[in-house]
Structures are given as structure tokens and as C-alpha cells.
Structure 1
Amino acid sequence: MGTFRRIETITPLLVFPLIAYVIIAVIAGGQHMDETPAIAGNLNATLFSVPMVSGVSWKMRLGDVLLLVSLVLLSIEIIKATSSRSSAMVNHMASMAVLLTCIVCFILFANFATATFFLFTCIALIDVMVGVIVSIVSARRDFGVGDGFGS
């Protein structure tokens, strides 16, 4: 297995939207008004809008795009979780580090106390839970563990 493929397998993909959010948070700065994080304006910035048949305009905001990208990467992470290689275990540990980073940032930093980042943290939690569950199920299958002694 090549070095790039190994790094690709080890690296949790959800780290990329996390890095993007951190960059946006740094650009937004730390000043916030009336209990609203400074990043709220950036996350609510409309990237594009599409007029709908109903007469309203559907708006895609930056925060929505971050969540959409995170969901796509989560689906890829779920597929990667089925691997039983040792690099997959390192990926699970790195995914746990991403989740812990999200929780700490959400609790401690004002720009991370948004609904967008909370939902991203939930996506990271789902990634960790699915990784553990899939690993346990595949380990049971690989070792032939049955439901009872006579199976």
C-alpha cells in the first residue's frame, strides 16, 4: 500500500470541514454583539439563491454548504469504516480526536457556539459511533463469534 493511500486511510475526512470552520472563525474575529457570535454573519452569508416555482427564493448559505460537505464526507467515512486494516483503527482514534476537538471548541470559544457547529459536532459524533459499531460487527464476523456456545 502506497504512502499516499495510507495517509488517506488514516486521515479522518471530517477534519477538512473543521479546518474550514476554524479559518472562517479566525477571519470573523472575536468581537461579538448582543450574545451573537461574530461568525454568525459569515455563516449566514448567502452564496447563491434559486427562485422556486412557489415564488420564494431558496438560499444556500455558507453554513449550509459546510454541513452538506460534512454529510458527504461522513458517508465516505462510513464506507471507510468497513476496513479491518490497522490503519482503520488509527482513523477511528483520529476521528475521536476530531470529536473531542469539536466538543472543546463548542464549549470554550464564542465563534463555535453556533447551530452550524453544533450540527457538525453531531456529525463527528455519528462518525465515531458508526466507526466503533462497524469495527465491532466486522470483528465478530472475522473471528466467527456466535450468539451462543453451540453456534
Structure 2
Amino acid sequence: MVAAFPLMILPFILYNLVMLGALGGDGASTFAQVILSLSMLSGALWTLSLGDLFILIALALLFVEILKATRTGSGSLLNHMLSMLVFVAYLVEFLLVRGAATQIFFILMVIAFIDVVAGFAVSIRSAGRDVSIGL
């Protein structure tokens, strides 16, 4: 049952907690807060903001979700359905909540959409290989 848990809900929950100020800060402007700043050999200054970190975490979770999609079993269908519900939650919040109308949330929503599409595509592709027709 744990394998059916959609991991893309974690950035969704964390974003909402930060947006509401539950984790400290003043809401959506907290995502611009610089977490890491490095001076490059070229002399340029590279910065990593909290919003960038959210996107990196979501991409890592997307990788795990795609690996989970390669498994066949009873939990995989439930995982796909829950992933679709998570994407719908992203979409509804993006359209209806003022604090979610940001580039960071949009990118997180697109990552959730890619999770849904890739999960179904990988499952269909791997299920096609499992079918063998004997002559």
C-alpha cells in the first residue's frame, strides 16, 4: 500500500505550508529566499532559492515515480489513479488560489502532469511486453 502513495503530493503539501506561512516566512515571497550562494570560477554568483529547491525535489521524486511505474502489480493502478488526483489538485489550486499562481507552482504542476502521463505510458509499454501470443 505504501508503494501506491503518490510522491508528488509532498511538494504540493510543502508548497501550501510555505504559502500559508505555516513553516515561517510571509507566504509566497518566501520562495525567493536565497538558500545557497556560490561564487563560480568565472566570477559569476550562482544562487539557489527555496523555489528552485522545491523544483529540484519534485524532479527527484518524479524520477522515483517513473521507476515505480515500471513495476506491475495491484498497487500500480492505484498509484496511477492517486497521481491523477494529485495533478487535478494542482490544477484546481493553480486556477483558483491566488498564492498558487506562480511560476514555481506552475512548474510543479507540469512535473505532476509528466508523472501522470509517463506513469501510464511506461505501464502500458511494460504491460505490452508481458503479453505473449503462442502459435
| 1:66 aligned residue | 54
Q: How does 1:41-52 map to 2 (within 5 A)?
A: 41-52=29-40
* Cα deviation code 1:8-37 (max 9, x no counterpart): x01011111111001011118xxxxxxxxx
Q: Given the alignment of the two structures, is residue 123 of structure 1 paired with residue 117 of structure 2, yes or no?
A: no
Identical pairs, percent: 38
SS of the counterpart of 1:50? Answer: strand
TM-score by length of 1: 0.82
Larger Rg: 1 or 2?
A: 1
| 1:141 aligned residue | 129
| 1:16 aligned residue | 10
Cα distance, 1:50 vs structure 2: 0.5
- CA distance, structure 1, for counterparts of residue 66 and residue 12 of structure 2: 18
- CA distance, structure 1, for counterparts of residue 36 and residue 55 of structure 2: 16
Runs of 4+ aligned residues of structure 1 deviating over 4 Å after TM superposition are none
| 1:33 aligned residue | none
| 1:91 aligned residue | 79
- CA distance, structure 1, for counterparts of residue 98 and residue 31 of structure 2: 14
TM-score by length of 2: 0.91
SS of the counterpart of 1:60? Answer: strand
Cα distance, 1:144 vs structure 2: 2.6
- CA distance, structure 2, for counterparts of residue 133 and residue 42 of structure 1: 36
* Backbone CA RMSD of aligned residues: 1.5
SS of the counterpart of 1:48? Answer: strand
- Structure 2 gap segments, 5+ residues each: none
